[in-house]
Amino acid sequence: MASVSNRPLTANAGQAMMELIRELYPICRSITGDGVRETLRIVGEHIPLEIREIPTGTQVLDWTVPKEWNIRDAYVKDPGGRKIIDFRRHNLHVASYSVPVRRTVTLAELKQHLFSLPDQPDWIPYRTTYYKEDWAFCASQRVVDSLEEGDYEVCIDSTLAPGALTFGEHVHRGRTDEEVLISCHCCHPSLANDNLSGIALSTLLAEGLKDQETRYTYRFLFIPGTIGSITWLALNEAKTAKIRHGLVAACVGDPGLMTYKKSRRGNAEIDQAVLHVLRQRGGDFEALDFSPYGYDERQYCSPGFNLPVGSLTRTPHGRYPEYHTSADNLELVSAEHLADSLDAYREIFHVLERNRRYRNTHPKGEPQLGKRGLYGPVGGGKSIGASESALLWVLNLSDGEWSLLDIADRAGLRFENVRAAADALEAHGLLERV
Ligand code: ZN
């Protein structure tokens, strides 16, 4: 019989996330196609996923669901007949959405369809041709530099045809229908930190909520970037009114600092909760104001929705050298950093679940805490402890306007101390919920 592990849940979760990332890494994903389906099938082995297929041509806000792209093989053969670029060795070798091609081209023509990174000569770049029907290969600068004059055979065995856009949705029902939205993109091929880390973290977060009774309903979206969130918003506009808090999860496995990009509102409860948790965890982190560039927060925070959705990452997109290259691989992400990110997300959920407003039932003068056993028996010391300080702050600021998180921030106390004080005061009838 298997023994029950006593290790903290997150240590196991770090390994579980790495295993999931390893399993998903080889799959050639794009914004549509079988790579996304296979990815969602595997995620669906961990959590129940509702899979949606939205037909090509469907009008979604100002966009149209594109043709579906699938690829079986691709290569470039040099004049000697050797495969010098081979999709089967790395799926980044073909620009995503490349149209089918089977031709012989000169070196000059090949180079017009070839991307490389002169500053990182061993890395393969990640490129896409989503919204322009074209084809391209990507290779290391070393390979490109080695090419000699002559005729090259190029083959891309792909299809770009009417089909569907696929996305996955998992909902954990809470006591209320007010929602927390967690969104991650699942449209990148073999890239570990940018896309797979977010998928793995979202999966483990959702798995961790199983059998838990929560106040909020949690909605997890596994969607292709941009077109996926636009599609979801177009199909679910009525549901957006229920979204109270949201986070876009991406780039959560690298060794960099935690980075929080605030919602467009900038002062939403999610912004406050994330920053409180990052401060109380200690250590450095970075807080960025909203900008209309990045991941799907751009869509959730477009002015017609303006949802309270921020993005919590480690190193943000575009700010690490391996970003969108073959070096964003299994070595860049670790169980340790994934688990640390997961911890932060769980602490944020914890704060959101318990944050609320109260009204002091004895607001004229301080109620006498000593006779209720709430205050330490020994007086006269120079200062009071955090728990007694929390009692006084909660009583003073609980006028129905200040939330526990507001109080914790203003008093410089940990949310947990403030919440414990509120529980004790409520139990003695000194607070009532607003
Ligand atoms: Zn990306």
- For the domain that residue 336 is a member of, what is the CATH number? 3.40.630.10
50 and 84 within one domain: no
Is the per-residue pLDDT at 186 higher than 90?
yes
109 and 60 within one domain: no
269 and 186 within one domain: yes
Residue 6: burial class (beta carbons within 10 Å; 0-12, 13-18, 19+): exposed
CA of 424 to the centre of ligand 1 (A): 47
CA of 188 to the centre of ligand 1 (A): 7
Is the per-residue pLDDT at 8 higher than 70?
no
Sole residue written with tokens 């390994």: 15
286 and 177 within one domain: yes
56 and 180 within one domain: yes
In a domain, 312, yes or no: yes
pLDDT at 272: 98
pLDDT at 386: 83
CA of 43 to the centre of ligand 1 (A): 20
CA of 317 to the centre of ligand 1 (A): 7
CA of 189 to the centre of ligand 1 (A): 10
25 and 44 within one domain: yes
Q: Do 300 and 233 contact (CB within 8 A), yes or no?
A: yes
CA of 426 to the centre of ligand 1 (A): 47
CA of 174 to the centre of ligand 1 (A): 32
In a domain, 255, yes or no: yes
- Which tens digit of pLDDT belongs to each residue from 380-405? 667 678 889 999 999 999 999 999 99
Q: Which residues have a Cβ under 8 Å from the Cβ of 146 and sit 6 or more positions away? A: 84
pLDDT at 10: 62
197 and 219 within one domain: yes
In a domain, 3, yes or no: no
CA of 136 to the centre of ligand 1 (A): 18
What pTM did the predictor assign? 0.95
In a domain, 321, yes or no: yes
Q: Which residues have a Cβ under 8 Å from the Cβ of 215 and sit 6 or more positions away? A: 174, 175, 176, 178, 353
Output DSSP code: residue 241.
Answer: G
In a domain, 1, yes or no: no
342 and 255 within one domain: yes
CA of 235 to the centre of ligand 1 (A): 24
In a domain, 196, yes or no: yes
Q: Maximum distance among all alpha carbons in the chain?
A: 94
CA of 294 to the centre of ligand 1 (A): 9
Question: Which of 115, 146, 161 lies at the terminal end of a domain, its last residue?
Answer: 161
In a domain, 4, yes or no: no
Overall domain count for the chain: 3
Q: What are phi and psi of 409, to 5 degrees?
A: -65, -45
CA of 111 to the centre of ligand 1 (A): 24
pLDDT at 118: 98
Distance CA 182, CA 306 (A): 16
330 and 241 within one domain: yes
CA of 191 to the centre of ligand 1 (A): 8
Question: Which of 354, 389, 418 lies at the terminal end of a domain, its last residue?
Answer: 354
Q: Which residues have a Cβ under 8 Å from the Cβ of 334 and sit 6 or more positions away? A: 14, 18, 253, 255
Q: Do 137 and 95 contact (CB within 8 A), yes or no?
A: yes
Mean pLDDT of 264-270: 98
CA of 186 to the centre of ligand 1 (A): 10
Percent of the chain with pLDDT over 90: 93
- Which tens digit of pLDDT belongs to each residue from 272-328? 999 999 999 998 999 999 999 999 999 999 999 999 999 999 999 999 999 999 999
Q: In this structure, how many other beta carbons lie within 10 angstroms of the beta carbon of residue 10?
A: 21
CA of 97 to the centre of ligand 1 (A): 15
Read off the CATH number of the domain in which 137 is found: 3.50.30.90
pLDDT at 385: 83
Segments forming the whole domain that contains residue 377: 357-433
Is the per-residue pLDDT at 72 higher than 70?
yes
CA of 195 to the centre of ligand 1 (A): 7
CA of 360 to the centre of ligand 1 (A): 49
Specify the 3-state DSSP secondary structure of 325.
strand
CA of 208 to the centre of ligand 1 (A): 26
Is the per-residue pLDDT at 6 higher than 50?
no
210 and 129 within one domain: no
Read off the CATH number of the domain in which 415 is found: 1.10.10.10
Is the per-residue pLDDT at 7 higher than 70?
no
In a domain, 6, yes or no: no
- Which tens digit of pLDDT belongs to each residue from 151-184? 999 999 999 999 999 999 999 999 999 999 999 9
pLDDT at 376: 72
Q: In this structure, how many other beta carbons lie within 10 angstroms of the beta carbon of residue 55?
A: 11
CA of 355 to the centre of ligand 1 (A): 33
Mean pLDDT of 231-256: 98
pLDDT at 238: 97
382 and 255 within one domain: no
Question: Which of 328, 354, 380 lies at the terminal end of a domain, its last residue?
Answer: 354
- Pick from 43-52, 191-200, 371-380: least confident: 371-380
113 and 254 within one domain: no
CA of 50 to the centre of ligand 1 (A): 24
